[in-house]
Chain A
Amino acid sequence: DAMVIQNPRYQVTQFGKPVTLSCSQTLNHNVMYWYQQKSSQAPKLLFHYYDKDFNNEADTPDNFQSRRPNTSFCFLDIRSPGLGDAAMYLCATSSRWDRGSTDTQYFGPGTRLTVL
């Protein structure tokens, strides 16, 4: 059963046209993360939510925003995509209190963003 679901799997947008990527989870985890992964590189953390508390990484561009309306859903908004924003965007979740699982992050399948 899918635990972290990302939609769409592939997204094509035009330079400067806002785009929203979505992530949902069935794990009831209180932490959700967004990563950017460019070709042949490691995932790079953009920001995370602990419940409704938003935590931005210092080097995440202002062009990237996020919303978490409830425990299950989290959105990544790219306000004005540039060519350099073409990448795979990964959503992940973890449980702050589930020490027994050793704080594992569970990743979704990703959304491949193409900017024309």
Chain B
Amino acid sequence: QQQVKQSPQSLIVQKGGISIINCAYENTAFDYFPWYQQFPGKGPALLIAIRPDVSEKKEGRFTISFNKSAKQFSLHIMDSQPGDSATYFCAASLSSGSARQLTFGSGTQLTVLP
């Protein structure tokens, strides 16, 4: 019930195209859904995040769509650029005692071709 399922495992998109990564969760106690971007050899960096009372959040070229009833959320990268090539992790968070517990999806390796 703590699992977050992410797909696809890898994604290849042409420059200027739309990249879409999907995630699904089971535990309705999750109350915060961040996306992290990770470049090789670097730590994950927060990209964008959403709470379940909002159906969509947009920041620049990045949009999260959230479907609470289906327990699914997705990341859309518009006008994808070669510099967006990285691994993307969705995550789900809930309060656990003294801290927030972050459950990661398995990651999507995105390659944007020039």
Closest 8 CB pairs of A and B: A50-B98, A107-B43, A42-B104, A103-B100, A31-B99, A110-B43, A109-B43, A107-B44
**Which A residues, 95 to 116, have Cβ-Cβ distances below 8 Å to chain B?**
96, 102-110, 112
User: Could you list which residues of chain B lie within 8 angstroms of chain A, going by C-beta atoms?
Assistant: 32, 34, 36, 41-46, 49, 51, 89, 93, 95, 97-102, 104-107, 109
**Which A residues, 62 to 116, have Cβ-Cβ distances below 8 Å to chain B?**
90, 92, 94, 96, 102-110, 112
Q: Does A19 have its Cβ within 8 Å of any Cβ on chain B?
A: no
Minimal beta-carbon separation of A53 from chain B (angstroms)? 6
Is there an interface contact between B42 and A110, defined as CB atoms closer than 8 Å?
yes
Is there an interface contact between B43 and A42, defined as CB atoms closer than 8 Å?
no
CB-CB under 8 A from A20, the residues of chain B are none
Minimal beta-carbon separation of A28 from chain B (angstroms)? 16
Known: A48-B99, A108-B43. A42 touches B106 (CB 8 A): yes
User: Could you list which residues of chain A lie within 8 angstroms of chain B, going by C-beta atoms?
Assistant: 4, 6, 31, 33, 40-43, 45, 48, 50, 53, 55, 90, 92, 94, 96, 102-110, 112
Q: Which of B43, B44, B46, B106 contacts A41 (CB 8 A)?
A: B106
By secondary structure, the B interface counts as strand
Minimal beta-carbon separation of A90 from chain B (angstroms)? 5
Task: Report the Cα distance A42→B92, complex, angstroms.
Answer: 13
Is there an interface contact between B98 and A43, defined as CB atoms closer than 8 Å?
no
CB-CB under 8 A from B32, the residues of chain A are 102-103
CB-CB under 8 A from A48, the residues of chain B are 99
Known: A102-B49, A103-B32. A55 touches B89 (CB 8 A): no
Q: What are 22 of the A-B contact pairs (CB < 8 Å)?
A: A4-B43, A6-B43, A31-B98, A41-B107, A42-B105, A43-B104, A45-B101, A50-B97, A50-B98, A55-B97, A55-B99, A104-B34, A105-B34, A107-B36, A107-B43, A107-B44, A107-B45, A108-B43, A109-B41, A109-B42, A109-B43, A110-B43
Is there an interface contact between B106 and A50, defined as CB atoms closer than 8 Å?
no
